[in-house]
Amino acid sequence: MSAPALSDFVLANTTLAPVPLVPEVVLHSAVEAMDLWELTDHDQPPFWAFPWAGGQALARHLLDHPGLVRDKKVFDLASGSGLVAIAAALAGADSVTANDIDPLSLTAVQLNASANGVAVTPLPGDQLDSDAHGADVVLAGDVFYDAEITALVLPFLTRAAARGALVLMGDPDRAHLPDDRFVRCARYEVPVPWTLESTETRSATVWRA
């Protein structure tokens, strides 16, 4: 799709609504994942269309503790809707880069950033071999959802922490989270869409590498 077609698709299939745990942020969000997935004709689900539990927890944590990102260069991995990136920008980050491999995600990030009156720089493509472009803070919400992705993401996050970046992750106790590698920072009870999680709330933890 062209850039205008991508924007039209996101706008046609979502509604602008506040995020349950982070009402300071509004997102273009969908209701039904499977129906939207069929429309996208993508290999991966439309992660960009929903406020996932880990991202909500991490975004809430950043807004409650803005000193974590204030005046810092921030890199948001697998940004999805851009929720975490937007929260970092609202918390006073000097610059925020939102990375995702899905063009629809980066379109949603731009639309959502605009709706919240902040600047977020979208970065396409697989960046897992990079150093997060020298960011002071590296953020990752809901990235441990299967073993293959975890094996790819973990070295990237470990390298960033080893060079001195603050690495923060949000995760709702998914099975592939290597929690023995991280330090627990905070825990939240997060309202989530029933259509995604088959429950109305999930516990999610913010971790530091």
pLDDT digits (tens, 9 = 90+) for 138-175: 999 999 989 999 999 999 999 999 999 999 999 999 98
DSSP of 83-111: HHHHHHHHTT-SEEEEEES-HHHHHHHHH
The amino acid sitting at 142 is: D
Task: Name the pairing type of β-strands 166-171 and 201-208.
Answer: antiparallel
Q: Is residue 22 exposed (0-12), middle (13-18) or buried (19+ Cβ within 10 Å)?
A: buried
Q: What is the pTM of this model?
A: 0.94
pLDDT digits (tens, 9 = 90+) for 71-130: 999 999 999 999 999 999 999 999 999 999 999 999 999 999 999 999 999 999 999 999
For residue 124, the surrounding DSSP H or E stretch is: strand 121-124
Question: Which alpha helices (DSSP H) does the chain contain, by range?
Answer: 3-12, 33-40, 53-64, 83-90, 103-115, 147-162, 194-197
